[in-house]
Chain A
Amino acid sequence: MRSPDSVSDSRRTDCLRITAIVATLGAATLTSACFGGSGTPGTDSTPAVMAKVGPDAVVTQREVEDSATLVVGGGPVLDLERPCARTDADVSRAVDDELLSLWAVAEGLAPASNSRAERIAAARAQLDSTLPSTLSEDDAAAWLSARESQFARVQTAEVTWAKFNSPRSAWSALGKSAGPVDPATVPALSPQSGTARLAHDGSGADGNVARVAFALRRAGSVGYTFDGTNAWLVGITSIENEPPSSETGRAQQLRRLATEGAREDAIAAFAWSLRDRWPVEILKHCTPESAILGR
């Protein structure tokens, strides 16, 4: 999907410095605003073009899937306040990879003849070599503190839920529009509905109800998931988190997660800066309808 261009063999030595280690949430989380444009539709053999990067490079649906976050144990969970957040993040990640691959070639880190994956690996290796292998305790604590709701463990949660026979039924019940929904109104959307009190292990309701609640972890939020058979809307009316664990194993895990997260944030921030050099145009955007109906 890329048109050949003339090869320029430039080798420069980079001076890559890190002046601070942990990342702003703003730098790590790209906006989920929908971009306009219709993109290039794909065919059975040609994946859809999702974005243009610089004058010649493109990112297709295949590259997005290769960079996407793996979902385990069931369907992805959507936050109705930002139903396209996951999709947009997957596209951004693929765009970042493309930018890194272009940078690797431009800086002489990998030849143009290498595969995209090899060019990305070369770029990441260069960046990784300048990042600390472990965050300090203070930096890790700061990074985690800025993302407390993502890493806190749920103690209890009061939820409302509604079950539907299909994603389309859920979409219709939402009035064919997504956006902020009051958790208290969720049970009214389906005859199969109710309220529940979830325990720390997710017991107290169907596993899918717990799945949505534990993914969102935010009072006042409403989420959606499709388990392959039924669609679920789940609202969180209140939530209580466990106090921070003092277990050594958990502390070590969190520090590793913070280190990995901060490293990825730093790489993402660097990739974002490359957009000045290689402008990015998102051609195909997610909509709330496409997110819920799975198109």
Chain B
Amino acid sequence: MSGVVVALALAMPSGAVAAPGGNGSGQLKVSVDTGTQLRASFETSATTAAIEAHKAGPTRDVVAVTVGATTFTADRDLATGKASWGADGAGVTARDRVVMSQLLSATDTWRQGGVDRSTGATKQAGGLKDLTTRLLMLAAEAPEGVAIGTQVVDRPSERRLEKTLADVQVVADASATKADSCAADVVATTTADSAERVAALAACQQANEDGILYFGSCATTTRWLMHDAGSHCMVGESINAGPRSSECMGECGPGCAGLNIYTYDCGDHDRCGRVHGGSTNPWDSECGDEYFEADDDFIWGWPNCT
């Protein structure tokens, strides 16, 4: 295989090796936790992370999580419904994702902070820990190589539905070229006169942004999930999803350790990750569209399944 060469020329001093001291403990150290302010540090043996969060108003929370050289921020106001998040144009690296995943494990109890799981979708003030957890889960699943600017994610509409083929909505797509190539793909991969073809052709004209569309129930059953990798259109598939499915398909967050929020956008993203997440190439990431379509679910969704 052809390659090109990197060479680092280093003048290396001689001398005794200094004794290393201290170990990364993988422990979370919370230095401030007053309800209006939250400050914590986290360190593994390889990387450090820091959390800085505060209340910017009675119902407004602002969170910053710094991992390596990247700072992810989120700003959410429960009263006004305004929210945004981003990484100031930075991207997520493979190293970042590892420590974020470990930090999520260390802050596992924070998922319940401010949210009444027993009442399901009942809305309650999330609190600093709640927003921190949501931001961490969102950031940890970001596609590598994509610059994350400020994402405005004001509170979207919320619906609950068991999505069948008949529920796929048709939205006019101004891009005739995309629709044409999309239709060609659908015709090539579906059976003539099948319900799947009808729905997928409709999906070619659909932005596939569901707002927050919760699963109609917490049953583990087949649901219609859409998936788009690359420049092609979306093609739907009937996928087993719900709390008892493999890797809890449909839950916003990693595997079965997510937010107990089950939505179609998160299901779409999970399905994409199932197909594309197994590469040994740590930069493999083809689920950018699904990821950004699910960000409002992460920021605003409320637990609908335990």
What residues of B have a CB within 8 angstroms of the CB of A145 in the complex?
Answer: 2
Report the bound CA distance from A237 to B199 in whole Å.
Answer: 31
Report the bound CA distance from A212 to B274 in whole Å.
Answer: 10
Given contact pairs A142-B4, A273-B8, A252 touches B20 in the complex (Cβ within 8 A): no
CB distance from B190 to the nearest CB of A (A): 9
Q: Which of A15, A62, A71, A273 contacts B11 (CB 8 A)?
A: A15
Are A211 and B275 in contact, CB atoms less than 8 angstroms apart? Answer: yes
Q: Which of A18, A105, A121, A257 contacts B6 (CB 8 A)?
A: A18
> Is A73 an interface residue when CB atoms closer than 8 A count as contact?
yes
Report the bound CA distance from A94 to B273 in whole Å.
Answer: 26
Given contact pairs A21-B6, A116-B46, A211 touches B17 in the complex (Cβ within 8 A): no
A residues lining the B interface (CB < 8 Å): 1-2, 4-10, 12, 14-27, 54-57, 62-63, 66-77, 79, 85-86, 89, 94, 97, 101-102, 105-107, 111-121, 127-128, 139, 142-143, 145-147, 150-151, 153, 199-204, 207-208, 210-212, 214-215, 217, 225, 227-229, 242, 245, 247, 249-250, 252-254, 256-257, 260-262, 265-266, 269-270, 273, 277-278
Report the bound CA distance from A12 to B18 in whole Å.
Answer: 13
Are B7 and A19 in contact, CB atoms less than 8 angstroms apart? Answer: yes
Are A17 and B9 in contact, CB atoms less than 8 angstroms apart? Answer: yes
What residues of B have a CB within 8 angstroms of the CB of A115 in the complex?
Answer: 22-24, 43, 48
Give the number of residues in B that approach A within 8 Å (Cβ atoms): 80
What residues of A have a CB within 8 angstroms of the CB of B47 in the complex?
Answer: 66, 117, 120-121
CB distance from B198 to the nearest CB of A (A): 16
Given contact pairs A8-B18, A18-B7, A202 touches B275 in the complex (Cβ within 8 A): yes
Q: Which of B48, B270, B282 contacts A118 (CB 8 A)?
A: B48
Are B17 and A105 in contact, CB atoms less than 8 angstroms apart? Answer: yes
Sampled A-B contacts (12; CB under 8 Å): A18-B6, A22-B6, A55-B17, A73-B278, A105-B19, A117-B43, A201-B227, A211-B277, A228-B247, A260-B93, A260-B283, A262-B6
Are B273 and A73 in contact, CB atoms less than 8 angstroms apart? Answer: yes
Are B17 and A70 in contact, CB atoms less than 8 angstroms apart? Answer: no
Are A214 and B20 in contact, CB atoms less than 8 angstroms apart? Answer: no
Are A25 and B275 in contact, CB atoms less than 8 angstroms apart? Answer: no
Q: Which 9 A-B pairs have the closest CB atoms?
A: A73-B277, A73-B273, A12-B13, A202-B275, A8-B16, A72-B277, A77-B278, A257-B145, A105-B18
Given contact pairs A73-B273, A105-B18, A116-B24, A23 touches B3 in the complex (Cβ within 8 A): yes
Given contact pairs A15-B10, A16-B8, A256-B146, A207 touches B275 in the complex (Cβ within 8 A): yes
Within 8 A of A (CB), among B98-125: 98-99, 101-102
> Is B237 an interface residue when CB atoms closer than 8 A count as contact?
yes
Are B19 and A261 in contact, CB atoms less than 8 angstroms apart? Answer: no
What residues of A have a CB within 8 angstroms of the CB of B154 in the complex?
Answer: none
Report the bound CA distance from A168 to B72 in whole Å.
Answer: 42
Are A106 and B145 in contact, CB atoms less than 8 angstroms apart? Answer: no
Are A66 and B46 in contact, CB atoms less than 8 angstroms apart? Answer: yes
Are B280 and A151 in contact, CB atoms less than 8 angstroms apart? Answer: no
What residues of B have a CB within 8 angstroms of the CB of A151 in the complex?
Answer: 281, 283-284
What residues of A have a CB within 8 angstroms of the CB of B69 in the complex?
Answer: 128
> Is B54 an interface residue when CB atoms closer than 8 A count as contact?
no
Are A24 and B3 in contact, CB atoms less than 8 angstroms apart? Answer: yes
Annotate B171-191 by CB proximity to A: 1 below 8 A, 0 otherwise: 000000000000001001100
Report the bound CA distance from A69 to B228 in whole Å.
Answer: 24
